[in-house]
Structure 1
Amino acid sequence: MTEKIDRRSILQAAGALGATTALGALAGCVGDDDGGDGDSSDDDGSADSDDSESMLDGREIQYGVLMPETGDLGSLGVTIRDGARLPARQLDGEVAAEFDVVTGDTQTDPQAGASEANSMVDAGVPSIVGSASSNVNLQVTRESLIPNEVVGMSPSSTAPAVTQLEDDDYIFRTAPSDALQGPLIAQVAVEEFDASTVSTLFLNDDYGQALEESFVNAFESEHDGEALERVSFEPEQPSYSSQLETAMGADPDFLWVVGFPQSGIQLFRDFYEGYDETFPVIVPDGLIDSDLPDEVGNPMNNVWGTAPAADGPGAERFAELYEEEWGESPSVFNSHAYDAAAVFILANARAGENDGTAIRDNIREVANPGGTQVTSENLAEGVEMAAEGEEIEYQGASSPVEFDDNGDIVAASYDVVRYQEGEIETQRTVEDYQPPS
């Protein structure tokens, strides 16, 4: 198994692909040493056969992983990336195929992400796990993936706008839409804090704007709450004191903060310097990061949050595999990345080729209900079955991973968590959450 980890190696791979094609054509012209036509056959002209031969023999299954290894989401992006790399490592040597996993860094920046995606497209990568943040994912899908018929599947891009893409069915995601998370956070605020007023601080991008709006709409319409101040902010600023002053000056019952870890470090440092460290704060998945309290210099015991849960049928075995491979427990969206890569491998095996359209057409065939259940426990067997054209149903680590017509997952569960003495502790899991209709 090879892993290409930077732009230079991606471009080298594209060159190597051309060289390999040329050598293959030359071999076809000169034939075998004995003057044959290149076919392997018996004296009677029939092709050699082996009853144990796998449909995967001689195949290389390729996919890309496009995640933020640096920038505002870098601390989370690296572990999400490793979740997507894990299925290929798990299967290496367990199935007849070889694996080529091409990785790239979006830098949590839409332009950088699109550039990396274009490099992968130029190298012939047929499917990409990514991107992570919604503002990057939307630009990457519109500019790079959809026009080039490359399948994208994000494990963490949650903006509702992803559902509305005109994508010809090339864009999927294993993370649930924030159309679910916003109402859930409103529910948590009322249940935990008996809150009736809030001020919001949110990142000024597709993710922050959409999730903040989803939350406020639910808080006001379903719980008769009131949003006193709604304050946007730019990423990675040297200070957020003025934004906090506006939000906290309205005297809300709690503060709702939407952002990513790199900005969150400075924002929470400013918060604890100026305000009561017991004042309730709620954050979404983008700020659930085990490194955050140490970086902030505070245990953050006042901060609650929500994040998509890893409670699929394959969750337990996935967690074991992740810890064995990477030496640490998985965190937010790691299981969703594993599932995206596993679905790509299964669909690729069933398609029999590294072709975006063929992979797209087989995703629901391997993931949606019907056929033998495949999980992280028997993934190798599932890949062989998919290659043989047998009916299978992938059951993920994050969820059952059933896709609707828009490429969104049908059901999602959420963990309600709390920072406690610098650790993230799950308070409860809300299974198969559906917002009030």
Structure 2
Amino acid sequence: MSVFTRSRSAKVLGAVAVAGVSAIILAGCAGSSEPAETSAAPADDREDLTLSIGTVLPQSGSLAFLGPPEEAGVLLAVNEVNDAAKGLTIDLTPGDSGDADNKAFETTVPKLQSAGVSAMIGAAASGVTKLFLDSNVSEGIITFSPANTSPDFTTWDDDGLYWRTAPSDLLQGEVLGNLIAEDGHKNIAIIYQNDAYGTGLFGVVKEVFEASGGTVVAEASYNDGDSSFDAQVATVTAENPDAVVLITFDQFATIAPLLVNAGQSAENFYLVDGNLKQWGTDVAVPLEGAKGTTPGPVLEDDFQARLNDAWTADGNSDLADFSYAAESYDAVILLALASLAANATDAAAISGKLQEVSGGSGDGTTCTSFAECADIILEGGTADYDGYSGPVTFDENGDPTEASIGIFQFGADNMHERIDTR
């Protein structure tokens, strides 16, 4: 478990420790406006609440493999909140985010805004969220992402309406940079997507790896929507690196064979959460030995079974991946608890309670389910929800201050398994 803190006024990364997963501290202060403060109402003064939320998650596009586990997490949480019958019911409207190329969010977001949702869960891609976050802020709607990792959101002028259960890439980048160095590599190349996600993670990995004494001998970027990567592969292979970091989405399936055909060994590939999927036969070259990182803890078997049951109940196939499922589940639970604590469903009131119900205010009784936490709130207490993605514990910027990063390795079947957690 790693603990790190950040502040909305931070403008630069600063020094990053190179031994293990260290604390990251960026000094500063909160944004220019604060969410409304409300107090929990006594149980006898309450009326039943209906909380309307929507999803902007990738049903299509280059991150579509993350859609099923994220949507399953949302669906399971909604079912469990509604089944708990604690005076709050969630009305869910699902929608597609697509990606920055197909722009499905341009249809979904206005539809959800017109429907009067208090919060949107999504997007998965940082670059997509950036394209509609300001619009949601203008409409007074919470944007709550289970998978955004760009460091830029820590300092975003969001009126307290942006939250995420995924940690900033300040953490994933540190873990990955250290892992590459610990594996004995000295001269690496990096291919990365030229967007908020790719450039942010690229910068951290490079800084951490070079601080360890290594050298980034080549770097090449591409734009989302590109289909040809010959130039990028030629740039990095010309410098004969001993490892290649690939900060991509599904483009990895095209780039990996090009690198192997150019003489690079796949066992020296390092992947990230955007492309760390169970590739199987979808990649035309063996990936055995390749490693990658994804935020999130080891999930309990019971939780995975509940996720799968919720997902397949609608006729979907079994989940093949659980990336960001816990973060999606926790996002819904935290929104529901904040609404219950505020005894309101408007976004400002909910935002005013999100840090509190996560334990970020330093008060509260620890609880691990919606029903347990709801009982604490209904009895006049303060709940501190510890979820399946971790304790969460939001700071004043809406960032989780406690998170873990999984390290995975591919086998001969191009399927990966977790080998470590940091």
Same fold (TM over 0.5): yes
Helix, strand or coil at the partner of 2:155: coil
The Cα of 1:415 is off from its aligned counterpart by 0.9
Matches of 1:149 and 1:177, distance apart in 2: 24
Q: Report what 2:182 is aligned to.
A: 191
Aligned pairs (5 A) from 1:27-426: 58-95=48-85, 96-109=87-100, 111-142=103-134, 144-192=135-183, 194-220=184-210, 222-261=211-250, 263-290=251-278, 292-311=279-298, 315=300, 317-326=302-311, 327-328=318-319, 330-368=321-359, 369-375=362-368, 378-387=369-378, 389-420=380-411, 421-426=413-418
The Cα of 1:66 is off from its aligned counterpart by 1.0
Contact 1:80 1:337 (C-alpha < 8 Å) held by counterparts: yes
Matches of 1:266 and 1:347, distance apart in 2: 43
The Cα of 1:55 is off from its aligned counterpart by 7.4
Helix, strand or coil at the partner of 1:77: helix
Contact 2:355 2:398 (C-alpha < 8 Å) held by counterparts: no
Contact 1:404 1:410 (C-alpha < 8 Å) held by counterparts: yes
Give the gaps of 5 or more residues in structure 2: 1-42, 312-317
Matched to 2:273, the amino acid is: D
Matches of 1:122 and 1:87, distance apart in 2: 24
Aligned-residue identity in percent = 25
Matches of 2:329 and 2:44, distance apart in 1: 24
Matches of 2:375 and 2:99, distance apart in 1: 36
Matches of 1:396 and 1:424, distance apart in 2: 25
The Cα of 1:236 is off from its aligned counterpart by 4.4
Matches of 1:121 and 1:54, distance apart in 2: 32
Please give the per-residue CA displacement for 1:226-252, whole angstroms capped at 9, x wherever unaligned.
111110012344332331121112101
Please give the per-residue CA displacement for 1:136-156, whole angstroms capped at 9, x wherever unaligned.
1122212x2211221111111
TM-score by length of structure 1 reads 0.79
Contact 2:88 2:336 (C-alpha < 8 Å) held by counterparts: no
Q: Report what 1:15 is aligned to.
A: none
Contact 1:83 1:322 (C-alpha < 8 Å) held by counterparts: yes
Give the gaps of 5 or more residues in structure 1: 1-52, 431-437
Matched to 1:372, the amino acid is: T
Aligned length: 369
Which 10-residue stretch deviates more, 366-375 or 330-339? Answer: 366-375
Please give the per-residue CA displacement for 1:385-410, whole angstroms capped at 9, x wherever unaligned.
43554311100111101001111111
Seen in structure 2, the aligned counterparts of structure 1 residues 325 and 250 have a Cα distance that, compared at 3 Å, is same
Contact 1:350 1:388 (C-alpha < 8 Å) held by counterparts: no
The Cα of 1:315 is off from its aligned counterpart by 4.8
The Cα of 1:336 is off from its aligned counterpart by 0.8
The Cα of 1:383 is off from its aligned counterpart by 2.9
Seen in structure 2, the aligned counterparts of structure 1 residues 303 and 56 have a Cα distance that, compared at 3 Å, is farther
Higher helix share: 1
CA RMSD of aligned residues (A): 2.2
Matched to 1:66, the amino acid is: V
Seen in structure 2, the aligned counterparts of structure 1 residues 299 and 338 have a Cα distance that, compared at 3 Å, is farther
Larger radius of gyration: 1
Matches of 2:332 and 2:353, distance apart in 1: 14
Matches of 1:310 and 1:169, distance apart in 2: 27
Helix, strand or coil at the partner of 1:398: coil
Seen in structure 2, the aligned counterparts of structure 1 residues 293 and 224 have a Cα distance that, compared at 3 Å, is same
Seen in structure 2, the aligned counterparts of structure 1 residues 363 and 207 have a Cα distance that, compared at 3 Å, is same
Contact 1:413 1:429 (C-alpha < 8 Å) held by counterparts: yes
Seen in structure 2, the aligned counterparts of structure 1 residues 330 and 242 have a Cα distance that, compared at 3 Å, is closer
Helix, strand or coil at the partner of 1:286: coil
Contact 2:267 2:288 (C-alpha < 8 Å) held by counterparts: no
Seen in structure 2, the aligned counterparts of structure 1 residues 75 and 329 have a Cα distance that, compared at 3 Å, is closer
Matched to 1:325, the amino acid is: A
- Choose between structure 1 and 2 for higher RCO, CA contacts under 8 A separated by at least 6 residues: 2
Contact 2:277 2:321 (C-alpha < 8 Å) held by counterparts: no
Contact 2:49 2:345 (C-alpha < 8 Å) held by counterparts: no
